[in-house]
A and B are shown apart, each in its own frame.
Chain A
C-alpha cells in the first residue's frame, strides 16, 4: 500500500530533516565559540 509507505517515509524525512537542522546549528555555534575563544 503506497499510502502506508508514504506515511512512514515522510515521518522519517521530517525527523531526519529536523535533526539535520539541529546538527547544522550546533556546528555553526561550535565554530563561533572557537572564533570567540581564539580572539580573546
Chain B
C-alpha cells in the first residue's frame, strides 16, 4: 500500500501537467469570453473534487458512528480539510473569472453561492474539531457532518428558487462546447480528482501519525511518575 503513494504521485503530476498543457494551449479560445474562459478548466474540476471529498467525509462520518473505527474518523478530518482547500480555490477563481467577463466580482448565482455555503459549513466543522474539549469529539463532529450533508439539497433548492425569482448573470455557464474543450476538461477533471485523493491520503497519514504521537505522549506521562522516583 505504501508503495502506491509515490506511483500515484508521479501519475498525478503527469496528469496535471498534461491538463495544464491542454487547458492553455490545445483547447481552442472560446468565442464569447475569450481566453479568460480557460479558468473553467481549473474552476469546475476543483469544485468537483471538493464535492467528492465532502462526500467522502460524509461516508467516513457515518462509518465512524456505526463502527467507531478511528481510522474512519481520521479520514473524515482529512477529507474535510482538503475539501475546504479545493473549495477555497473555487471561490477564488470564480470571481477572478467573473470580473473580466461580467464586470462584477460576485453574484449570488447558484453554483458559486452553493460553494460558499458548503465552504462555510465545512469550515464550521473544522472549527468544531479544533475547539472541542470533549473526549468524544469524533462523535460530535460526525453528527455535525451528517447535519451539514442533509442541509445540502435544501441549500440547493433554496438558492435555485431564489435565482429564478431574482435572475442575474450566471458565472461559469454558457459558451460553446468544442470537443477539444471537452477533452481538456476531462483531463483536468481526472487530474484534479487524483490530486485531491493524493493530498487527502497524505493528510490522512499525517492524522494517523499525529494520533500515534499523542497516544505515545499520553502513555509516557502516565508512566513518568514511576520513573521519576
**Interface magnitude class on chain A:** 20 to 34
* A-B pair number, CB within 8 angstroms: 73
Which residues of B are found within 8 Å of A7, using beta-carbon distances?
Answer: 39, 42-43, 92-93, 96-97
Chain A residue at minimum C-beta to C-beta distance from B217:
A36
- B34 with A1: CB separation less than 8 A: yes
Which residues of A are found within 8 Å of B92, using beta-carbon distances?
Answer: 7, 10-11, 14
Would you call B99 an interface residue if the criterion is a C-beta within 8 Å of the partner chain's C-beta atoms? yes
Which residues of A are found within 8 Å of B38, using beta-carbon distances?
Answer: 4
A39 to B195, CA, bound (A): 38
Q: In whole Å, how far is B179's beta carbon from the nearest beta carbon of chain A?
A: 22
Binding site for B on A (CB under 8 A): 1, 3-4, 6-8, 10-11, 14-15, 18-19, 22, 25-26, 29-30, 32-33, 36, 39-40
List 16 A–B pairs whose Cβ atoms lie within 8 Å, in order of A's numbering. A1-B100, A3-B36, A3-B39, A3-B100, A4-B35, A4-B36, A6-B96, A7-B39, A7-B92, A7-B96, A10-B92, A14-B89, A26-B209, A33-B209, A36-B220, A40-B220
